[in-house]
Amino acid sequence: MTDSRFDVRFDAGQADSRWQAAWDEARCFEADSASAKPKSFVLEMFPYPSGRIHIGHVRNYTMGDVLARYKAMRGFEVLHPMGWDAFGMPAENAAMENGVHPAGWTHANIAAMKKQLKQLGFALDWSREFATCDPTYYGHEQALFLDLYAGGLVYRRESAVNWDPVDQTVLANEQVVDGRGWRSGALVEKRKLNQWFLKITQFAQDLLDGLDTLQGWPEKVRVMQENWIGKSTGLQFAFDLSNGEQLEVYTTRPDTVFGASFVAVAADHPLAAGVAVGNAEAQAFIALCKQGGTTAAELETAEKLGFDTGVTAHHPFTGAALPVYIANFVLMDYGTGAIMAVPGHDQRDFDFATKYGLPIMRVIAASADVADAPLTEAEAGDGVCVHSSFLDGMAVADAKAEVIRRVEAEGRGQGKTVWRLRDWGVSRQRYWGTPIPFIHCDACGVVPVPKDQLPVVLPEDVDISIPGSPLARHPTWKHVACPQCGAAALRETDTLDTFVNSSWYFLRFASQPTDKPFDTAEVAQWLPVEQYIGGIEHAILHLLYARFWTRALAHVGAVDVKEPFASLFTQGMVTHETYYRQTYDDGSDHPRVRYYSPDEVERSANGATLKNDSKQVEVGKVIKMSKSKKNVVAPEDIIADFGADAVRWFMLSDSPPERDLPWSEAGIEGCGRFVQRLWRLFGQFDAGATGEDKALDRKTHQAIAAVASDIEALSFNKAVARLYELASAIDKAAPSASRNEAIRSILLLVSPMMPHLAEEAWHALGQPGLIANAAWPAVDPALLVEDEVTVAVQVQGKLRDTLTVAKGLPKDQLEALALASEKVQRSIDGAQIKKVIVVPDRLVNIVV
């Protein structure tokens, strides 16, 4: 008899909240650091509390959740925490616009988003939740900052910084994209300010080397970080100039030194400034260089321009007089801001030399016999030195070493490694961030706040309505006594970059004592994070900073870990069609594009109409959901319509997780149908049924094994397909003990993905406890092997027949069977058989 309780439709609305409450009650997902089980730390990038969860979060957290629940079923003690990256500009912007306090705004947003996350039934350890704006969090961050200061990794200096005029604050190099602020989009200006820096460059080599150990990271992300760190090795040396001065240049191609035909300096190089004194033409040229754009497109099209200073440089080996130019393509902040230009082997130099009629010499050739081949473009490749005096015949690598050796021997320069990576400026002139725990005293200088006076808490009564630093203009907050001499002194009013907050939050998740940031031994229990999941947009910023902080903390003895994230997965975006019309409704001649949201539109197989007027709208490209294109769906709406499990299932279906997932109404409806279908399937559990169904047993066990390996590989789309197949097989099978076992198994297999439905059915079927605490079903290896296989029979590589035979049938028998096939005989058609290839259990190919 099947179970009549399953005749009614599965009521997600009611079941979701019941089981969410049951999990909370049973504290199912609280991680126990003292557990004897093997540990697994599954982490998704914690969200900024913007106010609501968007569909991208849902996809991200669903993936992590499936993995976390699966790991728990496999006997791991799982740490799967959640918190809030709660400091930052949007809270201050909201304060400016709406007059709400950043703290109140942030906490209200957190409450709203937490409710949404709870509705999705994620197996999160909420007991470890924190927000980075909690003084209990940022106070510990201040303590760590002081530790790094004591360890020599924090310093303060005046420097030219990237100033974001909209956010009214400084940005790190990494936070400037195409000359604009990464968040505000404003054109960044250069300013001189006293800034706090973290010595990330001290770990440049180590951060680079560490990338090789991160085999669980996407190649793409490792390449991006490698490029960002930007190691180059070369030679720095001085030219003697005709004006009696010296000019330091840096080159990665010392082997091409005999091909140098001019020298160039940046427009803001001191030599350029010197030349410009009393020289209007030079001044005009320098001004021209400085107004040049910095975007990729502008740079690409920018013409190479130069200004001949009239100064010449003496070639260190030939003694030739090389003209010194000011050139717009030389950057002051890389190397020494001056280069030796080798037109034959650097395209920029080639372009420049062509324009100004300077010599272009070949000094590297593929082989010595093409030493005089003409150059039509710069040849940057490998080869041997030619026309290069004592270097002639040497390979590029050897010649580099030889030139460096000679220059060093002459005391004229030295081999040098140059990095693109710069120290990380962490000062922000904002309110809503971690106060930097230092005090400026006229007598004692910059004094750390004693640890027993931490946290340095943000004042609540601030005026955020006007630009500028709210802490700096606060009437009382900054006035304190110097901890050393007791005299009146001033607090540091800069706050830390919010990327500092996210550089160690995973450590605080692993361990959160009240008297210190974390316990080193407890952290060692959980770290490294076994699987980290988040967006590709953090490939450099967050992930590089977090790797650096982990090293810096190891440097001062706070942690034993080096790489915080063993495996990284970057998931694709959720996309959706766009719907639009071209309108002229503003009365102008130019059409404007007006977008419509999916719920204003009726979509059919061959087009779309607007619900309002039943007239057609254009169906546009499938792109990332964004408010401006109105192609968004609200998680709360679809959860209400279909239930959390259908939404979760959709997030896992079809598209491989690293690729974009196109949202569709038809797709989510299909998921909703499958939830109901499974529900009915569970109702087919027939306690009275007996008997064996070997074929179904085999399918069940194959599915158990396949779904497990698919989840471990994060190939959720494949696991989903497997589960559809198993469901169909169960549907078709007759009642039996095997079928009951199959139903019990599929229930367990879908439980990480559809936990509410699974829990409801588990309960209805009278299974003990919560399925959230159940174990993954065991696989019988004997059932994974088929005893019959289908073998393809080809003639000339074309499929002619298939044979179903016992597994392991010997080659000669297989061959005989294949040749006996009527279809095969027909296509051989009496031709002579030259060769027969037999792959046991797979195919027979007959060559005639």
Partner RNA sequence: GCGGGCGUGGUGGAACUGGUAGACGCGCGGCACUCAAAAUGCCGUUCCGAGAGGAGUGUCGGUUCGAUUCCGACCGCCCGCACCA
Interacting residues of 376 by C-beta distance below 8 A, sequence separation 6+: none
Q: Does 664 bind RNA (CB under 7 A)?
A: yes
74 binds RNA (CB under 7 A): no
x/- string (CB under 7 A) for RNA, residues 522-561?
--------------x---x---------------------
Residue identified by tokens 């990256």 is: 85
**Helices 644-652 and 665-682 meet at what angle, rounded to 10?**
110
Residue 496 within binding range of RNA, rule CB under 7 A: no
**Would you say the C-alpha torsion 388, 390, 392, 396 has a positive or negative sign?**
negative
Residue 487 in contact with RNA, rule: CB under 7 A: no
Only one of the segments 22-30, 194-202, 206-214, 293-301 lies at the binding site for RNA (rule: CB under 7 A); that segment is 293-301
Whole-angstrom Cα Rg for the chain: 34
Give CA–CA dist 826/409, Å, rounded: 83
CB 841 within 8 A of CB 810: no
Nearer to RNA, 30 or 308 (CB): 308
- State both tokens at 228: 């960002």
Encoded tokens for 597: 């949201």
Cβ closest to RNA, residue 135 vs residue 572? 572
Of 135 and 667, the one with the shorter C-beta distance to RNA is 667
Phi, psi at 554, each rounded to 5°: -65, -40
Using CB under 7 A as the binding rule, whether residue 259 contacts RNA is answered as: no
Whole-number Å distance between alpha carbons of 603 and 623 = 17
349's tokens? 């130099």
Instruction: Select from 106-114, 335-343, 364-372, 608-616 the region that touches RNA (CB under 7 A).
Output: 335-343
Near RNA by CB under 7 A: residue from 49, 181, 323, 335 = 335
Which H or E run includes 529?
none
Ramachandran region, residue 769 (left: φ > 0; alpha: ψ -120 to 50; beta: rest): left
* Whole-number Å distance between alpha carbons of 788 and 804: 7
Instruction: Single out the segment in contact with RNA by CB under 7 A; choices: 69-77, 89-97, 333-341, 810-818.
Output: 333-341
Work out the widest C-alpha separation in the chain, in whole angstroms. 109
CA-nearest of 659, 757, 645, 737 to 691 is 737
Q: How far is the CB of 178 from RNA (least distance, A)?
A: 7
453 counts as binding RNA under rule CB under 7 A: no
SS3 track for 323-369:
EEEEECCCCCCCCCCEEEECHHHCHHHHHHHHHHCCCCCCCEECCHH
Choose between 234 and 528: whose C-beta lies nearer to RNA. 234
Among 308, 519, 654, 686, binds RNA (CB under 7 A): 654
- Closest CB to RNA among residues 162, 336: 336
Q: Shortest approach of RNA to residue 359 CB, angstroms?
A: 17
CB of 727 to RNA, least distance (A): 8
Stretch that binds RNA, among 79-87, 192-200, 764-772, 823-831 (CB under 7 A): 823-831
Residue 646 within binding range of RNA, rule CB under 7 A? no
Looking at beta carbons only, is 523 or 601 nearer to RNA? 601
Beta bridge partners, 788, equal: 806
Q: Which of 798, 829, 830, 832 binds RNA (CB under 7 A)?
A: 798
In whole angstroms, the minimum distance from the beta carbon of 8 to RNA comes to 11
Query: Where in 168-187 is the site for RNA (CB under 7 A)?
Result: 177
Joined together, the tokens standing for residue 832 give: 């002579």
Got the DSSP string for 129-141? --BTTSHHHHHHH
Backbone angles phi and psi of 31, in degrees to 5: -80, 135
Q: Which of residues 580-619 bind RNA (CB under 7 A)?
A: 605
Question: Contact region for RNA (CB under 7 A) — 327-335, 360-368, 520-528, 549-557?
Answer: 327-335
Binding test (CB under 7 A) with RNA, winner from 121, 323, 337, 755: 337
CB of 550 to RNA, least distance (A): 23
Q: How far is the CB of 793 from RNA (least distance, A)?
A: 9
CB of 115 to RNA, least distance (A): 29
User: By CB under 7 A, is residue 796 in contact with RNA?
Assistant: yes
Residues 6+ apart with CB under 8 A from 142: 434, 435, 436, 437, 449, 454, 455, 456
Q: Please enumerate in sequence order all residues whose Cβ is within 8 A of that of 64, keeping only pairs 6 or more positions apart, or say none.
A: 42, 43, 44, 80, 531, 533
CB of 291 to RNA, least distance (A): 12
Q: In this chain, which of 206, 408, 618, 669 binds RNA, going by CB under 7 A? A: 669
Between residue 120 and residue 139, which ones bind RNA under the rule CB under 7 A?
none
Task: Identify the sign of the CA torsion 722, 725, 730, 733.
Answer: negative
Residue 506 token pair: 């995973």
- Beta bridge partners of residue 327, listed in sequence order: 306
329 binds RNA (CB under 7 A): yes
Residue 757 contacts residue 677 (beta carbons within 8 Å): no
Residues 843 and 811: beta-carbon distance below 8 Å = no
By CB under 7 A, tell whether 223 contacts RNA.
yes
Q: Is 331 in the site for RNA (CB under 7 A)?
A: yes
Looking at beta carbons only, is 155 or 724 nearer to RNA? 724
* Residue span binding RNA (CB under 7 A) among the ranges 221-229, 387-395, 504-512, 811-819: 221-229
Residues 411-440 within binding reach of RNA (CB under 7 A): 418, 420
Select 304 or 551, whichever has its Cβ closest to RNA: 304
Is 823 one of the binding residues for RNA (CB under 7 A)?
A: yes
Phi, psi for residue 751 in degrees, rounded to 5: -60, -35
Return all residues near 210 (Cβ < 8 A) that are at least 6 apart.
547, 562, 563
Q: Shortest approach of RNA to residue 660 CB, angstroms?
A: 6
Q: Which of 304, 491, 648, 699 binds RNA (CB under 7 A)?
A: 304
Peptide bond into 528 cis (omega under 30): yes
The 8-class DSSP code of residue 305 comes to -
If phi > 0 it is left, if psi is from -120 to 50 it is alpha, else beta; for residue 266 that is beta
User: Looking at beta carbons only, is 82 or 733 nearer to RNA?
Assistant: 733
Stretch that binds RNA, among 86-94, 332-340, 398-406, 506-514 (CB under 7 A): 332-340
Is the Cβ of residue 138 or residue 228 nearer to RNA in the bound state?
Answer: 228
Q: In this complex, which beta carbon is closest to RNA, that of residue 48 or of residue 716? A: 716
| Residue 372: CB atoms within 10 Å | 9
- For the record, the structure tokens of 624 come out as 């990332």
Task: Indicate which single residue of 44, 141, 346, 530 sits in contact with RNA (rule: CB under 7 A).
Answer: 346
Single out the segment in contact with RNA by CB under 7 A; choices: 26-34, 54-62, 558-566, 840-848. 840-848
Using CB under 7 A as the binding rule, the residues of this chain from 673 to 702 that contact RNA are 673-674, 676-677
CB of 226 to RNA, least distance (A): 9
Q: How many amino acids of this chain bind RNA (CB under 7 A)?
A: 85
For RNA, the binding residue among 184, 232, 520, 525 (CB under 7 A) is 232
What are the CA-CA distances from residue 246 to residues 52, 116, 312, 695, 711 (Å)? 60, 65, 11, 85, 63
Site for RNA in 703-742 (CB under 7 A): 717-718, 720-721, 724-725, 728, 731-732
